[in-house]
C-alpha cells in the first residue's frame, strides 16, 4: 500500500465526516487539551467475521480505523472493532491491516494469523456505510489488496463482560460460507443488498469473486483467490 495513495484516499474521504473524529477530552497538568491517537479522523466499514477455529461462529463487526504511518514495512491500518454503531456498543477486538508486500515477507508461522479480503470485497460482504458510492469503490480497491490480523477479545458479545480466550478471526472466502441470517440482518440494517453489491463490484473491478475453502485447522495459511495452484484472480466472464 503506497503512502501517497493511502493519504490521498483518506484526504478525500475526510472532506466530509466518515465516522467523525473522536476528540480527546484529556487535559495535561497545565489544563490544555491533549491530542491523542483517537483525535485523528477515522473511517468506518462493516463486515461479517468468523472464528478461524469454528467457521460457523460468525459476527457482524463494525470497524473504525485510522492509519499508523512511517513504519519500515509501510503504513498499517489500526482498527477498533465493535458489535454495533451506537454509543453503547461493545468494544470486541482489534484488527491490523497490512499490504500484500509486507505480508509476503512474513514467516509461514506468522502468516497463519492473517486473512485476505478479496472475497469480502468482491462478494459484497464489506460495506462502508458513510461513504459515497465512489469513495466506497476507491476504498474497496485498496482494502481488496490488504491482509488482516484480527482478534476478538470479547469472544461472545452476549456475555455481560468479556470472558474466555480471544478468538482469532478469519474472513469469509467463498460462496455459501456466510450465515444467511446474519447477512440478511446486516443488509436490512444498512439498507444494502450483498448480492447486488457483489455483481456491481465484479463488473467494476473485472474480477470473479474467489472461492477459497474455510481453514482446515488453526495452522492453515490464507490464500487470496484459489485453494491450489497460482494464487491469482480470475477475470470476469
For 136-156, write each residue's pLDDT tens digit.
999 999 999 999 999 999 999
| 34 within a domain of the structure (yes/no) | no
Whose cell is 467523525? That residue is: 20
The pLDDT tens digits for 65-101 are: 998 777 777 788 999 999 999 999 999 999 999 999 9
pLDDT digits (tens, 9 = 90+) for 5-15: 554 555 555 43
Please list, in sequence order, all residues whose beta carbon lies within 8 angstroms of the beta carbon of residue 181, skipping any fewer than 6 positions away.
none
CA distance to 63, 69, 92, 95, 153, per residue, from 150 (Å): 11, 19, 10, 4, 9
- Look at residues 115, 140, 116, 147 and name the one whose alpha carbon lies nearest to residue 197: 140
What predicted TM-score, i.e. pTM, was given to this entire model?
Answer: 0.87
Q: Is pLDDT of 134 > 80?
A: yes
113 in any annotated domain: yes
Give the count of domains, the chain. Answer: 1
Residue 163 covered by a domain: yes
Is 140 contained in some domain? yes
- Residue pair 237/223 in contact (Cβ under 8 Å)? The answer is no
- Residue 60 falls within a domain, yes or no? yes
Count of CB atoms within 10 A of residue 207's CB? 18
Is residue 222 within 8 Å of residue 115, measured between CB atoms? yes
165: domain range?
3-11+42-205
Our measurement of the distance from residue 127's CA atom to the centroid of its chain's CA atoms, rounded to an integer in Å, reads: 9
Cα separation of 43 and 169, whole Å? Answer: 21
Domain membership flag for residue 188: yes
* Cβ 79 vs Cβ 95: under 8 Å: yes
Residue 214 has φ and ψ, to the nearest 5°, of -65, 155
**Assigned domain for 235 exists:** no
Amino acid at each position: 500500500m503506497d503512502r501517497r495513495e493511502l493519504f490521498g484516499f483518506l484526504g478525500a474521504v475526510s472532506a466530509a465526516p466518515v465516522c467523525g473524529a473522536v476528540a480527546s477530552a484529556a487535559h495535561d497538568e497545565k489544563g490544555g487539551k491533549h491530542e491523542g491517537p483517537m483525535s485523528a479522523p477515522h473511517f468506518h466499514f462493516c463486515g461479517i467475521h468468523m472464528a478461524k477455529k469454528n467457521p460457523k461462529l460468525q459476527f457482524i463487526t463494525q470497524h473504525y480505523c485510522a492509519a499508523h504511518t512511517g513504519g519500515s514495512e509501510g503504513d498499517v491500518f489500526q482498527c477498533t472493532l465493535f458489535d454495533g454503531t451506537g454509543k453503547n456498543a461493545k468494544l470486541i477486538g482489534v484488527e491490523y491491516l497490512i499490504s500484500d508486500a509486507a505480508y509476503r515477507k512474513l514467516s509461514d508461522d506468522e502468516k497463519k494469523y492473517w486473512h485476505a479480503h478479496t472475497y469480502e470485497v468482491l462478494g459484497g460482504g464489506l460495506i462502508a456505510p458513510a461513504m459515497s458510492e465512489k469513495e466506497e469503490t476507491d476504498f474497496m480497491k485498496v482494502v481488496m489488496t490488504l491482509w488482516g490480523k484480527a482478534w476478538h477479545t470479547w469472544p461472545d458479545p452476549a456475555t455481560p463482560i468479556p470472558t474466555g480466550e480471544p478468538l482469532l478471526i478469519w474472513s469469509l472466502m467463498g460462496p455459501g460460507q456466510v450465515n444467511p441470517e446474519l447477512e440478511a440482518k446486516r443488509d436490512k440494517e444498512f439498507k444494502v443488498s450483498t448480492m447486488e453489491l457483489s455483481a456491481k463490484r465484479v463488473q467494476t473491478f473485472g474480477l470473479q469473486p474467489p472461492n477459497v475453502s474455510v481453514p482446515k485447522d488453526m495452522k492453515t495459511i490464507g490464500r487470496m483467490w484459489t485453494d491450489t495452484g497460482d494464487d491469482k484472480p480470475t477475470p470476469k466472464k
